[in-house]
Amino acid sequence: MTDALSAESHFVDPAPFEPDSGPEGRAESASAWRLIVRKFLHHRLAVASAVILLALYAIVPFVELLAPYGQARRNGDFLYAPPQGVHLFHDGRFVGPFVYPYRAHLDLDTFRRDYKVDTAAPQPLRFLCRGDGYDWLGLVHTDLHLVCPPENGTLFLFGTDKLGRDLFSRLIYGARISLTIGLVGVAISFTLGLFFGGIAGYFGGIVDAGVQRLIEVVRSLPELPLWLALSAALPPNWSPLLIFFGITVILGLLDWPGLARAVRGKLLALREEDFVQAAELMGASPARVISRHLIPNFMSHLIASATLSIPTMILGETALSFLGLGLRPPVTSWGVLLNEAQNLAAVQLYPWLLVPVLPVLVTVLAFNFLGDGLRDAADPYQ
């Protein structure tokens, strides 16, 4: 290439150059937590799960109000009654929510109860009405219910069990136990995991090695037989409340290793970060480094891990109670309700006894999706 040519091919952009428009940072000033929330809101499935879970947990304090019947209320005339539908129109005319009454009679050949729906006489439901009395949160004695069966009628949305108890009401009562056992259990395993993972990650060396071996031992124990053994060891004369407490402790004691590992790994990674070293070189005390730099930076990850371990707890309780070794009647949980569905013949004749599987499925899936979304959002800078 000749020099003349090269001079011609020298291109210079004629547009004026403004050096001030340099590679400046983004003008936003959102905090890490706000970025996490923003990123989480992009995960639609997780947001939907969060809404479902919020709705489920909103039930917990108001179960007596929401359930049409008390959890132990027996309707001797309606054993194994199938689910009753709620209708709005009768004879092409709008009458509001109502049910058709059951006419029960005993089939003397099969000894089964037959329920005939009497479509002639619609029975409108009552709202904000008087029903079975209860002590709300142990404070107020009242008999107010959101919805009650019609006068002289019944309301069995999901049918009844062998003692004629309303399954829908019992499911709502069961939610209180089944949903809280996950939270209480995770609180226990969270505390243990934070403590063991924290000392292993922060002190390292022999403490770390010790904790790691302990985790391996706990992890290598077969889970189900251990649950069985431990819950069988709970004294049978304990009150239902103490049993409930015992079961959560058992579940929590066996669940912490996963969380402890997460804490340890995150701590080890964070300790190598420049900003942690910077604080140490400034003369910051270990307490300051832990509280100001380590905990804020791994808390979001921990919350995600904890959310993912709540379903394990719920399933654990369900499994134990299903086998008859967890909570015992008269305490009602979803596992206890399923315990009654153990008999194959009963399930074949009365399939609505399996309905408690649904809330378990929904809750566990929702927690898993929520935990997934939280985990993705936990590191907003990627």
Could you list the residues that contact other proteins (CB under 8 A)?
1, 3, 6-7, 9-13, 15-17, 19-32, 273-275, 277-284, 288, 292-293, 296-297, 381
Q: By C-beta, is 35 or 183 nearer to other proteins?
A: 35
Q: Considering the complex, what minimum distance in angstroms separates the CB of residue 23 from other proteins? A: 5
CB of 286 to other proteins, least distance (A): 12
The bridge status of strand 126-136 relative to strand 140-148 is antiparallel
Sheet architecture: strand order including 87-90: 87-90, 93-99, 123-124
Query: Is the CB of 282 or the CB of 345 nearer to other proteins?
Result: 282
Which of 152, 173, 170 has its CA nearest to residue 161?
Answer: 170
Q: Dig out the tokens for 236 from the structure.
A: 């049978």
User: What distances in angstroms separate CA 67 from CA 126, 136, 156, 330, one per listed residue?
Assistant: 13, 13, 11, 17
- Report the C-alpha gap between 42 and 29 in whole angstroms: 19
Report whether the peptide linkage leading into residue 14 is cis, meaning its omega lies within 30 degrees of zero. Answer: no
Nearer to other proteins, 71 or 300 (CB): 300
Q: Which two tokens stand for residue 55?
A: 């709705």
- Six-digit token pair at 58? 């909103």
Residues 334 and 355: their CA atoms lie apart, in Å, by 9
**What is the nearest approach in angstroms of other proteins to the Cβ of residue 1?**
6
Closest CB to other proteins among 29 and 237?
29
The minimum distance between CB 32 and other proteins, in angstroms, equals 5
To other proteins, the closest distance from the beta carbon of 378 in angstroms equals 12
Burial call 142-158: b when 16+ CB within 10 Å, e when fewer: eeebebbbbeebbbbbb
What Rg value do the Cα atoms of the chain yield, rounded?
30
Residue whose CB is less far from other proteins, 24 or 151: 24
Nearer to other proteins, 109 or 274 (CB): 274
- Residue 293 beta carbon to other proteins: minimum distance, rounded to whole angstroms: 6
DSSP state of 75: -
Least distance to other proteins, CB of residue 29, Å: 4
Q: How far is the CB of 282 from other proteins (least distance, A)?
A: 5
Q: Which is nearer to other proteins, 128 or 269 (CB)?
A: 269
- Our CB check for other proteins shows the closer of 19 and 225 to be 19
* Dihedral angle computed from the Cα positions of residues 72, 75, 80 and 81, in that order, rounded to the nearest 10 degrees: -120
* Per-residue tokens: 344: 């194959």
Please name the amino acid found at residue 304.
A
